[in-house]
Amino acid sequence: MNHFEYRDGILHAEDVAISAIAEAVGTPFYVYSTATLERHYRVFADAFSQEGLDALVCYAVKANSNLSVIRTLAQLGAGADVVSEGELRRALAAGVPPEKIVFSGVGKTVSELEFALNAGILEINVESLPELEMLSDTAQRLGREAHVAIRVNPDVDAKTHEKIATGKKENKFGIDIEYAGQIYARAANLPGIKPVSIAVHIGSQLTSLDPYRAAFAKLAETVETLQKQGIGIERLDLGGGLGIPYDASDSEPPLPSDYAKVVRESVGHLNLPIMLEPGRLIVGNSGLLVTEVILEKVGETRRFVIVDAAMNDLIRPSLYDGHHEIMPVREPAENAQKSAADVVGPVCESGDTFAKNRQLPPLDHGDLVAFGSAGAYGAVMASTYNTRLLVPEVLVKGDQFAVIRPRQTYEELLALDHMAEWLD
Ligand code: LLP
């Protein structure tokens, strides 16, 4: 459920008309709804408490790392899953307590590990033996003890887009689960390392619970084997990845309550606290990308709607064939004649296409349209390709809205480059 709906013929975010935001900040822009963020967080967190599980929800900051978004979730009790020093700095700046932060990722640098150790975060998820050794050296040098989880790769097919599947042997992530015993034994003997947890994350936008069931069963078995070896695992990190509906006609992905049931059934008997790392599920349907129609170009065989947002603002359609609903901000009349259109941006690539053959009502220069489900992996994946400015982000709460990232200016963008001195 989200808080974007038509009222009096205009698309609203909570009590704010999208057209009013457009007037204030121009287009394109991202807009997020606080009520939706809060609702998604609560539904997810409550699902686990209802199953009697002791669960810490560490929001995966990569999905949307705006400080106001992180703070909104932190105020509800969320921790953070971060994958870089930058994200860790964001989580801390937004007020997430270090003891609720987990650092994941397949290639952390020594300076990132140092920063994490000095910040005193909850755990570092290690994905290889060389990383474990690097962490041990770093921790010793700093006189600290690193609390680690080993991320295991369970060799389970998440049945999602290949670019976001992470749990198969051929993926770069984690340590093959059958070597868990060896690596934990090594970890237990390394100075500066305290193995406390085991982690798994098999992919993103999962629309079936079966891969989770398979992965968690393997994880539970591994934990029991480790316990027999005398290796104490204090908690489990079950990763993120639960999918969201992108297409109104899609079958709904599993509910958080069913997901929580699978978790209890597969690992509940271990009686360990768990951590979860949802990203998309919390923010995906809490955000829209709003854009203005520049013009319609009708060729012999095709109708193109050219908008002022482009692939550099929202890359999901080009990169993953991602589907985003397209909603005119002014509600189309019920009898409006729809016809197939390709919705494209101004970037000089044919891949700069948001939708192909989408049934849309007539759209004119100046009309506003919104792309749905753009709260996750939208603004965070934006670039300035074609020297286009990063677009603003706006957060709505009830009848108020705040610009939580202003539009970049050309001065700021050009100032990022320096002229080589011999060119002066
Ligand atoms: N934990 C780990 C270790 C992850 O790698 C990820 C996502 C998450 C948690 C959060 O997954 P979520 O709950 O958001 O599915 N840019 C892609 C998605 C990349 C996901 C990367 N890892 C997209 O737009 O579909």
5 marked ligand binding residue: no
| Contact of 151 with 215, CB cutoff 8 Å | no
Distance, CA of 199 to CA of 177 (rounded, Å): 11
Q: Are residues 251 and 316 in the same domain?
A: no
* CATH code of 240's domain: 3.20.20.10
Amino acid at 134: M
What's the ipTM? Answer: 0.99
Residues with Cβ within 6 A of ligand 1? Answer: 60, 63, 81, 104, 164, 201, 204-205, 239-241, 277-281, 316, 320, 376-377
For ligand 1, atom 9, name the residue with the nearest CA.
240
pLDDT score recorded for residue 287? 98
Q: Which atom of ligand 1 is nearest to the CA of 377?
A: 24
For ligand 1, atom 7, name the residue with the nearest CA.
204
pLDDT score recorded for residue 91? 98
For ligand 1, atom 23, name the residue with the nearest CA.
377
3-state secondary structure at position 115: helix
Question: Which one-letter DSSP state was computed for residue 335?
Answer: T
Last residue of a domain, one of 231, 264, 282: 282
Last residue of a domain, one of 254, 282, 310: 282
Distance, CA of 267 to CA of 218 (rounded, Å): 10
pTM score, whole prediction: 0.97
| Contact of 296 with 363, CB cutoff 8 Å | yes
Tell me the angle at which helices 256-267 and 34-50 cross, rounded to the nearest 10 degrees: 30
Q: Are residues 108 and 155 in the same domain?
A: yes
pLDDT score recorded for residue 169? 84
pLDDT score recorded for residue 245? 95
Return averaged pLDDT per consecutive 10 residues of the chain, 424 residues in all: 94 98 98 98 98 98 98 98 98 98 96 98 96 98 98 92 86 90 95 97 96 98 94 95 89 93 98 98 98 94 96 98 97 95 97 97 97 98 98 98 98 98 93
Distance, CA of 302 to CA of 217 (rounded, Å): 50
Q: Where are the beta strands (DSSP E) in 131-276?
A: 146-153, 175-176, 193-199, 235-237, 274-276
Q: Which atom of ligand 1 is nearest to the CA of 206?
A: 15
Q: Which of 57, 62, 151, 171 is the best mutation target for the ligand 1 pocket, counting ligand atoms within 8 Å of the beta carbon and taking the most?
A: 62
Q: Are residues 168 and 225 in the same domain?
A: yes
Q: Are residues 224 and 321 in the same domain?
A: no
Confirm whether 58 is a catalytic residue: no
Residue 136 lies in a domain: yes
The token pair at 80 is 């953070």
* CATH code of 397's domain: 2.40.37.10
How many separate domains does the chain show? 2
| Contact of 334 with 296, CB cutoff 8 Å | no
Distance, CA of 345 to CA of 236 (rounded, Å): 43
pLDDT score recorded for residue 132? 97
Residue 420 lies in a domain: no
Residue 307 lies in a domain: yes
The token pair at 290 is 């709003």
Q: Are residues 179 and 199 in the same domain?
A: yes
Q: Are residues 109 and 226 in the same domain?
A: yes
3-state secondary structure at position 105: coil
Q: Are residues 207 and 268 in the same domain?
A: yes
Last residue of a domain, one of 258, 282, 306: 282
How far are the Cα atoms of 308, 380, 384, 408 from residue 411, in angstroms, in the given order?
Answer: 20, 21, 13, 8
Residue 104 lies in a domain: yes
Catalytic residue among 348, 414, 416, 420: 348
Cα 342 from chain centroid? Answer: 27
Distance, CA of 302 to CA of 173 (rounded, Å): 42
Residue 275 lies in a domain: yes
pLDDT score recorded for residue 300? 87
How far are the Cα atoms of 103, 104, 105, 200, 310 from residue 109, in angstroms, in the given order?
Answer: 12, 12, 10, 21, 33
Q: Are residues 23 and 50 in the same domain?
A: no
Q: Tell me how far the alpha carbon of residue 419 lies from the centroid of ligand 1, in angstroms.
A: 37
pLDDT score recorded for residue 375? 98
Cβ neighbours of residue 115 closer than 8 Å, sequence gap 6 or more: 85, 88, 89
Q: Are residues 88 and 131 in the same domain?
A: yes
Q: Tell me how far the alpha carbon of residue 304 lies from the centroid of ligand 1, in angstroms.
A: 32
The token pair at 243 is 């999918």
Q: Are residues 393 and 261 in the same domain?
A: no
Distance, CA of 180 to CA of 198 (rounded, Å): 9
Count CB neighbours of 54 within 10 A. Answer: 12
Residue 145 lies in a domain: yes
Q: Which atom of ligand 1 is nearest to the CA of 381?
A: 16
Parent domain of 291? 4-32+284-415
The token pair at 288 is 């829209």
Q: Are residues 347 and 246 in the same domain?
A: no
Residue 424 lies in a domain: no
Q: Are residues 133 and 218 in the same domain?
A: yes
278 marked ligand binding residue: yes
